[in-house]
Amino acid sequence: MPTSGIGTVFNLPSSDMLRDHYLQLKPRNAGIYSRAGSMLAMLIQFETFTCTRKTSGATTGLKPAAAPCRLPQLVDVVPPVVEFKLSDFELCSHVSVGLAGRGDEVVYEGVVRNPESPLRGMRVVLRQLTGPRAQRWGHRALQVIARLVRREDLYHSYATRVHGYILPSGTASDESNTLTLVHGYYGSYSLHQWLLCHDWLPNLEARLALDEEAARRVGDDRTGGPEVSRQLRLLRVIMRDLLIGLNYVHSRGLAHTELRLQNVHISAADRHVKVGILGNAADFPGNDFGKTMVFASSDSKSAITRRLMIAFDIRCVGYMMAKMVLRELMDPAIFSLVKNFLTQGHDPAGLREFFSSLVKSASGNTGVQILDRDGGAGWNLLACMLTNKSAERISCTDALRHPFLCGPKWRVESSLEMTRWSLGSFAVRIVEDFMYGADQRNRLSQLIDLLERVNPNSSYKEWMKLLPGRWRLLYHTGKLIGLTRRQANPAVLVDNLIQDFQLSADGNSSLTMRTSVGFTVMAEDSNWSAEKTGPKGKFNVCAHTVALSEDTRLYEKDGEGSDKAALYPKQRSINHTQNHPISHPTSPEIGRRADGSLRFRKQVIPDETPASMPVIRLDVHEDLEMSMELDMKGISALPKKVLQEVQLQIPREMFDLTNLVCATYIDSRLLILRGVSGAALLFIRSPVS
């Protein structure tokens, strides 16, 4: 096969010729040469690197000098991978910050000057691998090329292109040779460095040339607009390129295992994202090199391991997406808090609630606004990528079809799970962003009723699994929480209302339910300053025995209830327990078909009220423990008066837990309880203590 005159066709030496050595470098300026001639004048000395350590009484010898894995002959299956000579390049006097490698790598930039090379005049990167680990990484990078370049267009579009390698001495039989990879140059910055720039958005838009034609790649045909729209459009382009490239790697029987922002570059030439060199790529079990990938049965050990490897890559992409959209996570301290939150076993569905506790104003945060769009689709995609259960983590192809990554011009079939998520997100945003006028209260009641109709968990076992934990009260359909136009006396401001469910210590099927109400008592002469400062207090109610049981909720027929019941429904029965009817909601976010039935995208929710629906009955023991903690310093009001004011500002069901009747909806994020008055209490899971 012709070699284009720049060397020989890739003819790999045998494995015993390429041994790992520890390279002692004495660079002139901390390993980065200020002049190209420094490299040519540098004396490289090799020493065999061996070390021995003792573990638990046994001696384990670590011999990096052992022969690396033998590379297959690639001449007949891939385009030529060329052995270059150092004289083929003109080395630059600097190294871009975005190309930085590890301690056992020395990176140069160079320009191909060989007149017979098709790469003449092209800027490339020379990555000299100076240690045993780095050399094994380089050998592996060359090995996996055979799988990825079979569809050359996909490989070159979404992966860093490796042009060839250099042996410094030029003698393949010399055992002291190290390996230098020659790969593509895609600009001075990695994606990590771009995001650290204050003007990162216009720079990346210019680098990706986000015109109307480019925007159509993500189902959009607009350019410009508000900053939120621009960031969302850019995020969709980058995420789709990452997922397409990663899906191609997975389809060839490989897992990337090293996805992070520092390894991702953006090419201004073809406007694509490059996923980096695959030196740490791992083979899926049961797939031999050079053979067609065979998928094992879903229950086999190989299939389980394969799913775990894919899930690891997807989680890495989820972390990258979180950093791109939530810029606060670029701070290592904040990112470590979020990562610890996820690794401690918390459900990522509560990531929005946790992140809101880390920033001053979540509703005004640009990243939160982006993820809140389209019914919180962005938070849903993050939750699917970062879920703790590997088997439930979303795949690349499903992520590419997710509504968050599809622009307005692409019609996406919404799943029932996504419908539930969107209904809950609409309710949360109304609670956070709107004053509670009549329209907002009606809308919230309608969304709560719709959630109860599509409750995914109705069995006792599912509730016992999901219910334990901390839940923060968002909204009560029958009472406005906190201050109203009534003059508070004494001046008490209620903060968070927390409902905590824990399994009983005796191990039986009952739960312990605790209500915690935080409040602030303002000084009488403060005139309600903007800071709302004052002594803090906490009111607690505890029910040690709460029994759960499956039951049925009966609905009134048309004409049985009054018009007032549409907003504040009366009870009828839950077998032997009180219950209430449900209204017939109509929402602008929810279309109506010609036959009168409601639909959310493609998921139809019947407009007719069902005759019954399964619920979980709550039997609360009447012996309740109440306590109040309050620092009386600077407070002239009696504790009894403070307690009475707190009781007036919170729902009756939170003060007297025996007024709770049933639980009608639960998922990993939201909870709905109903009281004896028929009012609904909407909770959100709160992992923050």
Cα 455 to chain center, whole Å? Answer: 25
Q: What angle do CA 238, 240, 245 make, to 5 degrees?
A: 100
N-terminal to C-terminal alpha carbon distance within the chain? 67
Is the confidence at residue 265, as pLDDT, over 60? yes
Q: Which residue ranges does the chain devote to CATH 3.30.200.20? A: 22-184
Is the confidence at residue 320, as pLDDT, over 60? yes
Strands (E), 63-103: 82-84, 89-91
Confidence of residue 630 (pLDDT cuts 50, 70, 90): confident
Mean pLDDT of the chain: 75
Q: Which residue ranges does the chain devote to CATH 1.10.510.10? A: 191-412
Least confident of 347-361, 438-452, 501-515: 501-515
What CATH number should be reported for the domain whose range is 191-412?
1.10.510.10
Average pLDDT of the residues in 194-218: 81
Q: What is the pLDDT of residue 529?
A: 60
Q: What is the pLDDT of residue 576?
A: 36
Confidence of residue 170 (pLDDT cuts 50, 70, 90): very low
Q: Is 22-184 a domain of CATH 3.30.200.20? A: yes
- Which of 394, 390, 397 lies closest to 307, judged by CA? 390
Annotate 111-142 with b (16+ C-beta within 10 A) or e (fewer).
bbebeebebeeebbbbbbbbbbbbbbbbbbbb
> Which amino acid type is present at position 448?
I
Confidence of residue 605 (pLDDT cuts 50, 70, 90): low
Q: What is the pLDDT of residue 535?
A: 82
Contact 522, 493 (CB under 8 A): yes
Q: What is the pLDDT of residue 611?
A: 73
Confidence of residue 435 (pLDDT cuts 50, 70, 90): low
Is the confidence at residue 530, as pLDDT, over 70? no
